Structure 1
Protein backbone atom coordinates (compact mmCIF):
# COMPACT_ATOMS: atom_id res chain seq x y z
CA UNK A 1 0.00 0.00 0.00
CA UNK A 2 1.19 3.50 -0.74
CA UNK A 3 1.73 5.90 2.10
CA UNK A 4 -1.45 7.06 3.81
CA UNK A 5 -0.89 10.66 4.84
CA UNK A 6 -1.81 11.82 8.34
CA UNK A 7 -4.56 13.98 6.80
CA UNK A 8 -6.13 11.03 4.98
CA UNK A 9 -5.83 8.80 8.03
CA UNK A 10 -7.44 11.42 10.29
CA UNK A 11 -10.38 11.74 7.93
CA UNK A 12 -10.88 8.00 7.47
CA UNK A 13 -10.54 7.35 11.21
CA UNK A 14 -13.41 9.75 11.86
CA UNK A 15 -15.80 8.86 9.03
CA UNK A 16 -15.43 5.09 8.52
CA UNK A 17 -16.98 4.04 11.87
CA UNK A 18 -19.88 6.45 11.27
CA UNK A 19 -20.44 5.10 7.76
CA UNK A 20 -20.57 1.53 9.05
CA UNK A 21 -23.23 2.60 11.58
CA UNK A 22 -25.37 5.01 9.56
CA UNK A 23 -25.36 3.63 5.99
CA UNK A 24 -28.05 1.05 5.27
CA UNK A 25 -27.02 0.22 1.68
CA UNK A 26 -23.57 -0.89 0.49
CA UNK A 27 -21.14 2.03 0.21
CA UNK A 28 -17.49 2.51 -0.63
CA UNK A 29 -14.62 4.94 -1.01
CA UNK A 30 -13.81 5.67 -4.66
CA UNK A 31 -11.45 7.96 -6.56
CA UNK A 32 -7.95 8.87 -5.48
CA UNK A 33 -8.33 7.69 -1.87
CA UNK A 34 -9.47 4.25 -3.05
CA UNK A 35 -6.61 4.09 -5.56
CA UNK A 36 -4.09 4.95 -2.86
CA UNK A 37 -5.57 2.34 -0.50
CA UNK A 38 -5.20 -0.21 -3.32
CA UNK A 39 -1.51 0.64 -3.59
CA UNK A 40 -1.30 3.29 -6.32
CA UNK A 41 1.11 6.18 -5.87
CA UNK A 42 -1.42 9.03 -6.17
CA UNK A 43 -2.11 12.26 -4.37
CA UNK A 44 -5.36 12.57 -2.44
CA UNK A 45 -7.12 15.93 -2.08
CA UNK A 46 -10.44 14.65 -0.71
CA UNK A 47 -12.34 11.46 0.13
CA UNK A 48 -15.07 10.47 -2.34
CA UNK A 49 -17.90 8.31 -1.00
CA UNK A 50 -20.23 6.39 -3.28
CA UNK A 51 -23.49 5.82 -1.39
CA UNK A 52 -27.19 5.39 -2.10
CA UNK A 53 -29.47 8.44 -2.28
CA UNK A 54 -31.09 7.45 1.02
CA UNK A 55 -27.75 7.06 2.75
CA UNK A 56 -26.66 10.43 1.31
CA UNK A 57 -29.71 11.98 3.01
CA UNK A 58 -28.76 10.31 6.30
CA UNK A 59 -25.17 11.56 6.08
CA UNK A 60 -26.32 15.06 5.16
CA UNK A 61 -28.39 15.13 8.34
CA UNK A 62 -25.64 13.57 10.47
CA UNK A 63 -22.93 15.91 9.21
CA UNK A 64 -25.11 19.02 8.67
CA UNK A 65 -22.82 21.26 10.76
CA UNK A 66 -19.83 20.26 8.61
CA UNK A 67 -21.46 20.88 5.22
CA UNK A 68 -19.85 23.31 2.77
CA UNK A 69 -22.91 25.13 1.49
CA UNK A 70 -21.29 27.08 -1.35
CA UNK A 71 -19.27 24.28 -2.98
CA UNK A 72 -20.31 23.19 -6.50
CA UNK A 73 -18.75 20.04 -7.97
CA UNK A 74 -17.04 20.29 -11.35
CA UNK A 75 -18.13 18.43 -14.49
CA UNK A 76 -21.89 18.82 -13.90
CA UNK A 77 -22.58 17.90 -17.51
CA UNK A 78 -20.78 14.58 -17.00
CA UNK A 79 -21.68 13.65 -13.40
CA UNK A 80 -24.78 14.04 -11.28
CA UNK A 81 -25.68 12.79 -7.83
CA UNK A 82 -27.31 13.71 -4.56
CA UNK A 83 -24.12 15.58 -3.63
CA UNK A 84 -22.68 17.29 -0.58
CA UNK A 85 -19.18 18.23 0.53
CA UNK A 86 -18.18 18.23 4.19
CA UNK A 87 -15.27 19.66 6.19
CA UNK A 88 -13.41 17.15 8.35
CA UNK A 89 -10.07 17.31 10.12
CA UNK A 90 -7.60 16.25 7.46
CA UNK A 91 -9.43 16.27 4.14
CA UNK A 92 -12.84 17.24 2.79
CA UNK A 93 -15.37 14.44 2.24
CA UNK A 94 -17.60 14.36 -0.85
CA UNK A 95 -20.77 12.29 -0.64
CA UNK A 96 -22.22 11.16 -3.96
CA UNK A 97 -25.63 9.58 -3.50
CA UNK A 98 -26.82 7.63 -6.52
CA UNK A 99 -23.94 8.85 -8.72
CA UNK A 100 -24.67 8.84 -12.44
CA UNK A 101 -22.37 9.34 -15.43
CA UNK A 102 -23.24 10.71 -18.86
CA UNK A 103 -20.79 9.58 -21.53
CA UNK A 104 -22.95 11.01 -24.31
CA UNK A 105 -25.65 8.33 -24.42
CA UNK A 106 -27.70 9.46 -21.42
CA UNK A 107 -27.35 9.08 -17.68
CA UNK A 108 -26.21 5.70 -16.34
CA UNK A 109 -25.70 4.72 -12.70
CA UNK A 110 -22.12 4.28 -11.51
CA UNK A 111 -21.92 0.89 -9.79
CA UNK A 112 -18.96 -0.05 -7.64
CA UNK A 113 -19.14 -3.73 -8.59
CA UNK A 114 -17.17 -6.14 -6.43
CA UNK A 115 -15.90 -4.55 -3.23
CA UNK A 116 -12.89 -5.43 -1.14
CA UNK A 117 -12.10 -4.36 2.40
CA UNK A 118 -8.81 -2.60 3.05
CA UNK A 119 -7.59 -2.87 6.62
CA UNK A 120 -6.09 0.35 7.93
CA UNK A 121 -5.08 0.34 11.60
CA UNK A 122 -8.29 -1.38 12.69
CA UNK A 123 -10.55 0.29 10.12
CA UNK A 124 -12.34 -1.80 7.50
CA UNK A 125 -12.52 0.48 4.45
CA UNK A 126 -14.62 -0.82 1.53
CA UNK A 127 -13.23 0.06 -1.90
CA UNK A 128 -14.00 -1.36 -5.33
CA UNK A 129 -11.71 -4.24 -6.34
CA UNK A 130 -8.67 -3.28 -8.40
CA UNK A 131 -10.42 -4.29 -11.64
CA UNK A 132 -13.56 -2.34 -10.72
CA UNK A 133 -11.56 0.76 -9.80
CA UNK A 134 -9.85 0.65 -13.19
CA UNK A 135 -13.22 0.25 -14.94
CA UNK A 136 -14.81 3.13 -13.02
CA UNK A 137 -11.87 5.51 -13.47
CA UNK A 138 -11.59 4.77 -17.19
CA UNK A 139 -15.34 5.32 -17.63
CA UNK A 140 -14.99 8.78 -16.06
CA UNK A 141 -12.63 9.65 -18.91
CA UNK A 142 -10.98 12.66 -17.29
CA UNK A 143 -7.19 12.86 -17.62
CA UNK A 144 -6.64 12.56 -13.86
CA UNK A 145 -8.84 9.45 -13.72
CA UNK A 146 -7.14 7.84 -16.74
CA UNK A 147 -3.76 8.41 -15.03
CA UNK A 148 -5.02 6.82 -11.80
CA UNK A 149 -6.37 3.86 -13.76
CA UNK A 150 -2.98 3.41 -15.44
CA UNK A 151 -1.25 3.35 -12.04
CA UNK A 152 -3.75 0.76 -10.80
CA UNK A 153 -3.30 -1.31 -13.97
CA UNK A 154 0.47 -1.31 -13.38
CA UNK A 155 -0.15 -2.74 -9.91
CA UNK A 156 -2.43 -5.45 -11.28
CA UNK A 157 0.17 -6.44 -13.89
CA UNK A 158 3.17 -6.34 -11.55
CA UNK A 159 4.81 -9.73 -11.14
CA UNK A 160 4.62 -11.34 -7.75
CA UNK A 161 7.76 -10.92 -5.72
CA UNK A 162 8.96 -13.85 -3.71
CA UNK A 163 10.71 -12.83 -0.55
CA UNK A 164 13.41 -15.22 0.57
CA UNK A 165 13.98 -15.65 4.31
Structure 2
Protein backbone atom coordinates (compact mmCIF):
# COMPACT_ATOMS: atom_id res chain seq x y z
CA UNK A 1 0.00 0.00 0.00
CA UNK A 2 1.22 3.48 -0.77
CA UNK A 3 1.87 5.88 2.08
CA UNK A 4 -1.25 7.20 3.78
CA UNK A 5 -0.46 10.76 4.83
CA UNK A 6 -1.59 12.10 8.22
CA UNK A 7 -4.41 14.20 6.73
CA UNK A 8 -5.97 11.20 4.99
CA UNK A 9 -5.50 8.99 8.03
CA UNK A 10 -7.14 11.58 10.33
CA UNK A 11 -10.15 11.75 8.02
CA UNK A 12 -10.49 7.99 7.63
CA UNK A 13 -10.07 7.41 11.39
CA UNK A 14 -13.05 9.67 12.00
CA UNK A 15 -15.41 8.74 9.16
CA UNK A 16 -14.91 4.98 8.65
CA UNK A 17 -16.34 3.91 12.04
CA UNK A 18 -19.31 6.25 11.52
CA UNK A 19 -19.91 4.91 8.01
CA UNK A 20 -19.91 1.33 9.34
CA UNK A 21 -22.45 2.29 12.02
CA UNK A 22 -24.78 4.59 10.08
CA UNK A 23 -24.85 3.17 6.52
CA UNK A 24 -27.44 0.45 6.11
CA UNK A 25 -26.42 -0.55 2.58
CA UNK A 26 -22.91 -1.40 1.32
CA UNK A 27 -20.65 1.64 0.86
CA UNK A 28 -17.09 2.15 -0.30
CA UNK A 29 -14.45 4.70 -1.06
CA UNK A 30 -13.78 5.46 -4.72
CA UNK A 31 -11.44 7.84 -6.52
CA UNK A 32 -7.98 8.80 -5.34
CA UNK A 33 -8.32 7.60 -1.73
CA UNK A 34 -9.44 4.15 -2.89
CA UNK A 35 -6.64 4.04 -5.49
CA UNK A 36 -4.05 4.93 -2.85
CA UNK A 37 -5.35 2.26 -0.47
CA UNK A 38 -5.13 -0.25 -3.34
CA UNK A 39 -1.47 0.60 -3.89
CA UNK A 40 -1.35 3.37 -6.49
CA UNK A 41 1.05 6.24 -5.90
CA UNK A 42 -1.50 9.07 -6.14
CA UNK A 43 -2.20 12.29 -4.30
CA UNK A 44 -5.46 12.58 -2.40
CA UNK A 45 -7.26 15.93 -2.12
CA UNK A 46 -10.57 14.62 -0.74
CA UNK A 47 -12.30 11.39 0.20
CA UNK A 48 -15.07 10.19 -2.14
CA UNK A 49 -17.67 7.91 -0.54
CA UNK A 50 -20.12 5.98 -2.71
CA UNK A 51 -23.36 5.22 -0.83
CA UNK A 52 -27.05 4.62 -1.44
CA UNK A 53 -29.41 7.58 -1.63
CA UNK A 54 -30.93 6.72 1.77
CA UNK A 55 -27.51 6.42 3.39
CA UNK A 56 -26.51 9.77 1.84
CA UNK A 57 -29.58 11.32 3.51
CA UNK A 58 -28.59 9.74 6.82
CA UNK A 59 -25.04 11.13 6.55
CA UNK A 60 -26.35 14.57 5.59
CA UNK A 61 -28.33 14.61 8.83
CA UNK A 62 -25.51 13.15 10.93
CA UNK A 63 -22.87 15.52 9.58
CA UNK A 64 -25.14 18.57 9.03
CA UNK A 65 -22.86 20.94 10.97
CA UNK A 66 -19.88 19.93 8.80
CA UNK A 67 -21.63 20.45 5.45
CA UNK A 68 -20.17 22.87 2.91
CA UNK A 69 -23.36 24.30 1.40
CA UNK A 70 -21.60 26.45 -1.20
CA UNK A 71 -19.58 23.66 -2.84
CA UNK A 72 -20.78 22.58 -6.28
CA UNK A 73 -19.51 19.32 -7.76
CA UNK A 74 -17.61 19.60 -11.04
CA UNK A 75 -18.59 17.90 -14.31
CA UNK A 76 -22.33 18.07 -13.61
CA UNK A 77 -22.96 17.19 -17.26
CA UNK A 78 -21.26 13.79 -16.67
CA UNK A 79 -22.03 13.02 -13.03
CA UNK A 80 -25.07 13.29 -10.82
CA UNK A 81 -25.84 12.01 -7.36
CA UNK A 82 -27.41 12.90 -4.06
CA UNK A 83 -24.28 14.89 -3.25
CA UNK A 84 -22.86 16.67 -0.24
CA UNK A 85 -19.36 17.80 0.78
CA UNK A 86 -18.30 17.90 4.41
CA UNK A 87 -15.39 19.45 6.32
CA UNK A 88 -13.38 17.04 8.45
CA UNK A 89 -10.01 17.36 10.13
CA UNK A 90 -7.56 16.35 7.43
CA UNK A 91 -9.46 16.27 4.15
CA UNK A 92 -12.94 17.12 2.87
CA UNK A 93 -15.36 14.21 2.42
CA UNK A 94 -17.66 14.02 -0.60
CA UNK A 95 -20.69 11.75 -0.26
CA UNK A 96 -22.31 10.55 -3.47
CA UNK A 97 -25.66 8.84 -3.04
CA UNK A 98 -26.65 6.76 -6.07
CA UNK A 99 -23.92 8.17 -8.28
CA UNK A 100 -24.78 8.12 -11.98
CA UNK A 101 -22.60 8.69 -15.03
CA UNK A 102 -23.61 9.99 -18.45
CA UNK A 103 -21.16 8.96 -21.19
CA UNK A 104 -23.42 10.38 -23.90
CA UNK A 105 -25.92 7.54 -23.85
CA UNK A 106 -28.05 8.52 -20.86
CA UNK A 107 -27.65 8.24 -17.11
CA UNK A 108 -26.39 4.91 -15.77
CA UNK A 109 -25.63 3.95 -12.17
CA UNK A 110 -21.99 3.66 -11.12
CA UNK A 111 -21.68 0.23 -9.54
CA UNK A 112 -18.78 -0.51 -7.20
CA UNK A 113 -18.66 -4.20 -8.14
CA UNK A 114 -16.73 -6.53 -5.86
CA UNK A 115 -15.59 -4.86 -2.65
CA UNK A 116 -12.43 -5.64 -0.74
CA UNK A 117 -11.53 -4.50 2.75
CA UNK A 118 -8.25 -2.68 3.23
CA UNK A 119 -6.91 -2.82 6.77
CA UNK A 120 -5.48 0.45 8.04
CA UNK A 121 -4.43 0.57 11.72
CA UNK A 122 -7.54 -1.28 12.84
CA UNK A 123 -9.89 0.29 10.31
CA UNK A 124 -11.62 -1.93 7.74
CA UNK A 125 -12.03 0.32 4.70
CA UNK A 126 -14.13 -1.04 1.81
CA UNK A 127 -12.90 -0.21 -1.69
CA UNK A 128 -13.78 -1.72 -5.06
CA UNK A 129 -11.52 -4.54 -6.22
CA UNK A 130 -8.53 -3.48 -8.27
CA UNK A 131 -10.28 -4.50 -11.50
CA UNK A 132 -13.45 -2.65 -10.54
CA UNK A 133 -11.53 0.50 -9.57
CA UNK A 134 -9.83 0.49 -12.96
CA UNK A 135 -13.22 -0.03 -14.68
CA UNK A 136 -14.82 2.82 -12.74
CA UNK A 137 -11.94 5.23 -13.31
CA UNK A 138 -11.79 4.46 -17.03
CA UNK A 139 -15.57 4.94 -17.33
CA UNK A 140 -15.22 8.43 -15.82
CA UNK A 141 -12.96 9.28 -18.75
CA UNK A 142 -11.33 12.34 -17.22
CA UNK A 143 -7.57 12.70 -17.59
CA UNK A 144 -6.96 12.45 -13.83
CA UNK A 145 -9.05 9.28 -13.62
CA UNK A 146 -7.31 7.64 -16.59
CA UNK A 147 -3.96 8.40 -14.94
CA UNK A 148 -5.14 6.81 -11.69
CA UNK A 149 -6.26 3.72 -13.60
CA UNK A 150 -2.80 3.43 -15.18
CA UNK A 151 -1.13 3.84 -11.79
CA UNK A 152 -3.36 1.10 -10.39
CA UNK A 153 -2.39 -1.20 -13.26
CA UNK A 154 1.29 -0.44 -12.62
CA UNK A 155 0.96 -1.12 -8.90
CA UNK A 156 -0.78 -4.44 -9.59
CA UNK A 157 2.01 -5.62 -11.87
CA UNK A 158 4.84 -4.41 -9.64
CA UNK A 159 6.97 -7.28 -8.32
CA UNK A 160 7.37 -5.38 -5.04
CA UNK A 161 3.66 -5.43 -4.28
CA UNK A 162 2.95 -7.77 -1.41
CA UNK A 163 -0.27 -9.50 -0.60
CA UNK A 164 -2.47 -7.79 1.98
Q: Please show how residues 17-96 of structure 1 align to structure 2 within 5 Å.
A: 17-96=17-96
Residues 65-105 of structure 1: CA deviation (Å, up to 9, x unaligned): 00000000000000000000000000000000000000000
Which position in structure 1 is the counterpart of 2:150? 150
Q: Secondary structure at the match of 1:73?
A: coil
- In structure 1, what is the equivalent of residue 111 of structure 2? 111
When normalised by structure 1's length, the TM-score is 0.96
- Alpha-carbon offset, residue 154 of structure 1: 1.0
Q: Determine the C-alpha separation between the residues in 1 that align with 2:135 and 2:99.
A: 15
Q: TM-score, normalised by structure 2?
A: 0.97
- Aligned residue for 1:99, secondary structure, equals strand
Residue 142 of structure 1 and its aligned partner are, at CA, apart by 0.1
- 1:70 and 1:159 map into 2 onto residues whose CA distance is 45
CA shift, 1:129, in A, is: 0.5
Residues paired across the two proteins, number: 162
> Tell me, what secondary structure is at the counterpart of 1:33?
helix
SS in 1 for 2:100: strand
Report deviation, 1:160. 6.4
Tell me, in whole angstroms, the C-alpha distance in 2 between the residues paired with 1:31 and 1:7: 16
Q: Which runs of 5+ in 1 are unaligned?
A: none
Contact 2:155 2:161 in 1 (8 A): no
RMSD in angstroms over aligned alpha carbons?
A: 1.1
Q: How big is each residue's C-alpha offset from its partner over 1:86-145, in whole Å with a ceiling of 9 and x where there is no partner?
A: 000000000000000000000000000000000000000000000000000000000000
